[in-house]
Amino acid sequence: MSCNTVTFKRGTSFSASVVYTPDAGGPANLLGMTVTSSIIDADRNEFDLDVTIAGNGLSFTTVYSGDTGSWGIGTARWDIKFLQGTTVFYSDTMRLDVIGQVTV
């Protein structure tokens, strides 16, 4: 999984759709796995995301259900953790350039 830095305006809703593409020799889908995800803002505050895996196990959505208006301005970090039994693996760490809104 790879991602460029994305500009995100704080105060807006945060959600993402992710497509899982199995690697050779890797899990065929995400069914039976525990998938968690968090964002850490520039002020080092952690925000947990709700993760919903699709019925076919080949995609999922992440949603932050709180108010992003308090997220620190600057570079935030985001990754996704996959747990299957005792095996743990992570996505690449993605960057969010959190900027402030102009109109309040």
Taken in order of first residue, the domains within the chain and their CATH numbers are 6-99 (2.60.40.10)
Answering whether pTM is above 0.75, one says yes
- 69: three-class secondary structure by DSSP: helix
- pLDDT, tens digit, for every residue of 65-84? 999 999 999 999 999 999 99
- 60 CB-near residues (< 8 Å, 6+ apart): 17, 18, 20, 30, 35, 51, 52, 53, 54
The string of pLDDT tens digits covering residues 43-72 is: 999 999 999 999 999 999 999 999 999 999
Please report, as a single letter, which amino acid is at residue 33: M
pLDDT at 51: 98
Distance, CA of 74 to chain centre: 17
